[in-house]
């Protein structure tokens, strides 16, 4: 077996067998799917049934019973109660909130709408607040229209829901529904994943090199293999560990996500239905349901999944190799973490810069900033993956990939020249000048 | 394996680590590469191991220029040595053996053999960090010689070994040498290898100042100094130094008189005669300089 394969194998197995790898592999997808599931879960969680007490001085609610889960209870007759008395009574009950609708001096709907107060024993939930507001608004609007002599049937007919789709017209003439928010989320997830991956696995390579140097096993190894082979073996081995972890995460997250959404999907659909009934009237519910499903489907359709995954893995490995070579060179030059700091600084700057630029680029994926920083090999792995979900012209993708390959060949070459000298150098104060000298050594 | 070092030069920046160094190491010899720290020993050894390449000159193995694959024919125990602490002994030995080109099966058989010989079979599953320093050294030695190299290179071989292990390893090295393995020792402690080497090279300030078979070198440094021991010297006997001779040292211990005399030539008859005048001659032997003395003298001369 080729020696470099042996090194890759040892590097890979020794890392994969570590307990920390197992823990990260299991905890990772749980966290990842939790990020995906929890908001949906909370959104779909039904609010508990509430009773709301109402002091309707303006008599505007017309003794409306509320909804399935929010029942309204009227204090009355309203004229006989002051708000102070109502509050006292409210405090004696288990009721959730007290709504006070004043009349003011005359019966002025605009005065009423501006002076409604909701009292609660604790912070009143947004759901209840908007339910009450919507209910009163529609009652006042109905009243105003009726006062203008509009037929109640006409009122019911004019209620209209507006929903705009935004559509990209491609050069080929194919129209695509754009789903900007979803794409931004995917771009960000990729960018952050890349960022953490480069940092975590890059410093693992550095520590691995430092360990070999400090426990002095390195000279034994490089009497069997070229220093370059050892360095590349370590980098490739770590990269494969990262890729393995990533693929396991994706698979596990997908399984977990499907399982959870499978369980909660029914609830969620119910929730959509209830919401629809409350806000738009029963006739629109079916429409709304299919809208929700359609938008998920069309969103997935707009993404070119093979290109997305393929190019992510490419940038994932390319970016990792580029930085891992530099981390390896630093690890070879120093003898402990503290010494490593001064050299780490300039290496981490472009990584941090990339993530800052990625934020900007997500807002304007095809702008100048996005273009240039997705070409520079030091920033392209993070900036380009942010752009990819939005669709990047193929020539740009190809150019950026070629530049990245050139970039990591370049850093690897420089790193290997520092590495071969550094791993055998002990007890010397290392400076940038020293590293420069090493690079120029022959043989 | 015969090794030829042909005018090898190695520079690090402005610093010349090796300057036109040449030597021949015959097959089956034990070659001592001697010199103070920083003289260039490690640079030369790293070139032999192809860890670095020479800037000028070349290395020949059995007459042919050294090739990358030749690392399989060489076993190297560096001065700075260690093992992966978290790896198991067996797994690690297998790894190092396979890096030297053995396949898993060969490696396993060879390892089993050595582990039995050193009676350390039950270490196989132990992690290196659980081993004592002496134990780790045995493992390290095994992994150096496991692939039956034709050339063994030891940098400061006995530094860090306890006396018992040092003796064990010394005997194993001699045994391998008897079977034909060429051995190179690099050290700044001459006395540790003096009795073992048959060839030496002295390196000082990046150059070989002495180089060749040990007995030839010793021959060159003979200066007709003899040690004469006379038993029961009579008080009135008169010792007359032969013409041109110098008395280097004289010592009386109970009834034994010892004289160290440097003669003008190798003819010892006048010295014997002079001794017989005094008492009964018990011993006459030539004083041959030790490698250490040769070394110190040569380095001094080369610096002057």
pLDDT of residue A168: 63
B239 contacts: CB under 8 Å, gap ≥ 6: B259, B274, B275, B277, B278
Please state, in angstroms and as integers, the Cα–Cα distance from residue B281 to each residue in B231, B245, B271, B273, following that order. Answer: 6, 19, 11, 10
Judge: B84–A219 Cβ closer than 8 Å, yes or no. Answer: no
* Mean pLDDT of the B252-265 span: 87
Q: Which residues of A touch B (CB under 8 A)?
A: 1, 3, 6-7, 10, 14, 212, 215-217, 219-227, 420, 424, 426, 437, 440-443
The neighbouring-strand residues paired with B16 are B11
A207 and A350 co-located in one domain: yes
B39 and chain A in contact, CB less than 8 A: no
A188 and A331 co-located in one domain: yes
pLDDT exceeds cutoff 90 at A147: no
For residue A383, being part of any structural domain is answered with yes
Q: Which domain holds residue A69?
A: 50-154
Judge: B84–A215 Cβ closer than 8 Å, yes or no. Answer: yes
The neighbouring-strand residues paired with A50 are A70
For residue A171, being part of any structural domain is answered with no
Q: In sequence order, which ranges of A215-335 are alpha helices (DSSP H)?
A: 218-222, 227-280, 285-302, 305-333
For residue A404, being part of any structural domain is answered with yes
Output phi, psi for B155, to 5 deg.
Answer: -100, 120
A312 and A266 co-located in one domain: yes
Judge: B13–A424 Cβ closer than 8 Å, yes or no. Answer: no
Judge: A217–B12 Cβ closer than 8 Å, yes or no. Answer: no
Other beta carbons less than 10 A from residue B264's beta carbon: 12
A63 and A185 co-located in one domain: no
Q: pLDDT by residue (tens digit) across B43-90?
A: 999 999 998 889 999 999 999 999 988 999 999 998 878 899 889 999
Give the H/E segment covering residue B257: strand B256-262
Q: How far is A344 from chain B (nearest CA, A)?
A: 25
pLDDT of residue A288: 46
Contact, A19 vs A99, CB < 8 A? Answer: no
pLDDT of residue B28: 93
Per the prediction, chain B carries an average pLDDT of 88
Nearest one of A126, A125, A159, A123 to A141, comparing CA atoms: A159
Q: State how far the Cα of A30 lies from the Cα of A21, in Å rounded to an integer.
A: 14
Q: pLDDT by residue (tens digit) across A187-232?
A: 888 888 888 889 889 999 999 999 999 888 998 899 899 899 999 9
The pLDDT confidence band at residue A274, using thresholds 50, 70 and 90, is low
Nearest to A443 among B53, B68, B77 (CB): B53
Judge: B99–A222 Cβ closer than 8 Å, yes or no. Answer: no
Q: pLDDT by residue (tens digit) across B6-40?
A: 999 998 878 899 999 999 999 999 999 988 888 88
A95 and A24 co-located in one domain: no
pLDDT of residue B24: 92
Cis amide prior to A77 (ω within 30 degrees)? yes
Nearest one of A153, A83, A85 to A117, comparing CA atoms: A83
| Number of domains present in the structure of chain A | 2
Nearest CA in chain B to A226: B51
A138 and A265 co-located in one domain: no
Q: pLDDT by residue (tens digit) across A39-53?
A: 666 666 666 788 888
A414 and A351 co-located in one domain: yes
Q: pLDDT by residue (tens digit) across A359-404?
A: 888 888 888 899 999 999 999 999 998 898 888 888 999 999 999 9
A253 and A319 co-located in one domain: yes
Judge: A1–B95 Cβ closer than 8 Å, yes or no. Answer: no
B59 and chain A in contact, CB less than 8 A: no
A378 and A275 co-located in one domain: yes
Probe site for chain B from A12, A217, A221, A228 (most B CB atoms < 10 A) = A217
The contacts found for B135-138 with CB under 8 angstroms, 24 or more apart, are B136/B83, B137/B161, B137/B165, B137/B169, B138/B165, B138/B168
Q: Which position has the token pair 């752009």?
A: A387
The neighbouring-strand residues paired with B154 are B77, B185
Q: State how far the Cα of A173 lies from the Cα of A361, in Å rounded to an integer.
A: 26
Q: State how far the Cα of A50 lies from the Cα of A99, in Å rounded to an integer.
A: 13
Q: pLDDT by residue (tens digit) across A68-118?
A: 778 888 887 877 888 888 888 888 888 888 888 888 777 777 888 888 888
Q: Which position has the token pair 């973490």?
A: A337
A81 and A223 co-located in one domain: no
**Residue A109 belongs to domain with CATH number:** 3.40.190.10
Chain B residues in contact with A221 (beta carbon < 8 A): 96, 99
For residue A360, being part of any structural domain is answered with yes
User: Do strands B151-155 and B182-187 pair parallel, antiparallel, or not at all (unpaired)?
Assistant: parallel
Contact, A334 vs A340, CB < 8 A? Answer: yes
Chain-centroid distance of CA B104 in Å reads 33
pLDDT exceeds cutoff 90 at A179: no
For residue A164, being part of any structural domain is answered with no
For residue A159, being part of any structural domain is answered with no
For residue A168, being part of any structural domain is answered with no
A201 and A309 co-located in one domain: yes
For residue A165, being part of any structural domain is answered with no
B105 contacts: CB under 8 Å, gap ≥ 6: none
pLDDT of residue B148: 92
Nearest CA in chain A to B43: A424
A202 and A323 co-located in one domain: yes
pLDDT exceeds cutoff 90 at A34: no
Judge: A223–B52 Cβ closer than 8 Å, yes or no. Answer: no
């Amino acid at each position: 077996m080729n020696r470099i394969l042996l090194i890759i194998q040892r590097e890979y197995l020794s890392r994969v067998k570590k307990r920390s790898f197992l823990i990260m592999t299991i905890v990772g997808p749980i966290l990842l799917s939790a990020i995906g599931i929890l908001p949906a879960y909370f959104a779909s969680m039904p609010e508990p049934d509430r009773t709301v007490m109402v002091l309707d001085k303006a008599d505007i609610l017309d003794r409306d019973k509320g909804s399935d889960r929010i029942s309204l209870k009227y204090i009355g007759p309203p004229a006989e109660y002051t708000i102070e008395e109502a509050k006292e009574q409210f405090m004696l009950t288990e009721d959730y909130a007290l709504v006070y609708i004043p009349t003011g001096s005359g019966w002025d709907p605009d005065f009423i709408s501006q002076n409604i107060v909701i009292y609660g024993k604790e912070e009143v939930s947004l759901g209840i607040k908007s339910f009450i507001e919507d209910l009163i608004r529609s009652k006042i609007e109905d009243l105003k229209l009726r006062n203008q002599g509009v037929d109640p049937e006409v009122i019911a007919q004019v209620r209209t829901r507006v929903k705009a789709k935004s559509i990209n017209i491609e050069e080929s003439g194919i129209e695509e529904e754009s789903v900007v928010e979803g794409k931004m989320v995917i771009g960000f997830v990729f960018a952050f994943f890349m960022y953490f991956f480069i940092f975590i696995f890059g410093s693992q390579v550095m520590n691995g090199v430092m360990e070999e140097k400090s426990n002095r096993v390195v000279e034994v190894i490089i009497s069997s293999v070229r220093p370059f082979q050892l360095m590349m073996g370590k980098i490739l081995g770590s990269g494969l560990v990262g890729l393995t972890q990533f693929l396991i995460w994706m698979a596990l997250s997908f399984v977990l996500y499907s399982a959870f959404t499978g369980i909660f999907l029914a609830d969620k659909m119910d929730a959509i239905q209830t919401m629809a009934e409350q806000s738009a009237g029963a006739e629109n519910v079916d429409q709304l349901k299919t809208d929700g499903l359609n938008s998920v489907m069309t969103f997935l359709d707009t993404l070119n999944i093979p290109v997305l995954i393929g190019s992510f893995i490419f940038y994932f490995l390319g970016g990792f190799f580029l930085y891992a070579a530099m981390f390896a060179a630093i690890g070879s030059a120093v003898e402990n973490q503290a010494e490593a700091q001064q050299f780490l600084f300039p290496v981490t700057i472009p990584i941090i810069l990339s993530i800052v630029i990625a934020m900007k680029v997500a807002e304007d994926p095809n702008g100048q900033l996005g273009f240039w920083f997705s070409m520079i090999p030091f920033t392209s792995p993070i900036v380009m993956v942010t752009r990819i979900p939005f669709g990047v012209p193929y020539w740009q993708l190809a150019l950026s990939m070629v530049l990245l390959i050139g970039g990591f060949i370049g850093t690897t070459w420089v790193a290997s020249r520092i590495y071969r000298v550094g791993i055998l150098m002990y007890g010397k104060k290392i400076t940038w000048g020293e590293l420069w000298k090493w690079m120029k050594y022959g043989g | 394996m015969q090794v030829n070092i042909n005018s090898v030069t190695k520079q690090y920046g402005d610093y010349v680590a090796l300057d036109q160094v040449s030597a021949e190491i015959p097959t089956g010899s034990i070659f001592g590469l001697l010199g103070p720290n920083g003289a260039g020993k490690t640079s030369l050894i790293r070139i032999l191991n192809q860890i670095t390449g020479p800037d000028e000159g070349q290395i020949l193995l059995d007459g042919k220029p050294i090739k990358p694959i030749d690392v399989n024919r060489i076993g190297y125990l560096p001065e700075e040595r260690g093992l992966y602490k978290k790896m198991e002994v067996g797994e690690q030995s297998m790894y190092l053996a396979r890096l030297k080109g053995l396949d898993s099966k060969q490696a396993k058989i060879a390892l089993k053999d050595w582990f039995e010989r050193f009676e350390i079979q039950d270490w196989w599953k132990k992690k290196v960090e659980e081993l004592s320093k002496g134990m780790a050294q045995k493992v390290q030695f095994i992994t150096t010689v496991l692939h039956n190299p034709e050339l063994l290179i030891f940098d400061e071989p006995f530094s860090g070994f306890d006396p018992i292990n040092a003796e064990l390893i010394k005997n194993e090295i001699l045994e391998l040498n008897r079977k034909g393995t060429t051995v190179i020792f690099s050290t700044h402690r001459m006395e540790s290898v003096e009795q073992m080497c048959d060839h030496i090279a002295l390196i000082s300030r990046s150059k070989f100042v002495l180089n060749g078979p040990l007995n030839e070198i010793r021959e060159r440094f003979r200066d007709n100094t003899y040690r004469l021991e006379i038993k029961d010297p009579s008080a009135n006997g008169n010792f007359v130094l032969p013409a041109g001779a110098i008395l280097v040292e004289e010592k009386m211990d109970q009834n034994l008189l010892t004289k160290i005399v440097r003669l003008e030539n190798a003819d010892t008859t006048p010295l014997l005669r002079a001794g017989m005048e005094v008492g009964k001659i018990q011993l006459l032997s030539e004083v041959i300089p030790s490698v250490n003395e040769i070394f110190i003298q040569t380095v001094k001369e080369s610096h002057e």
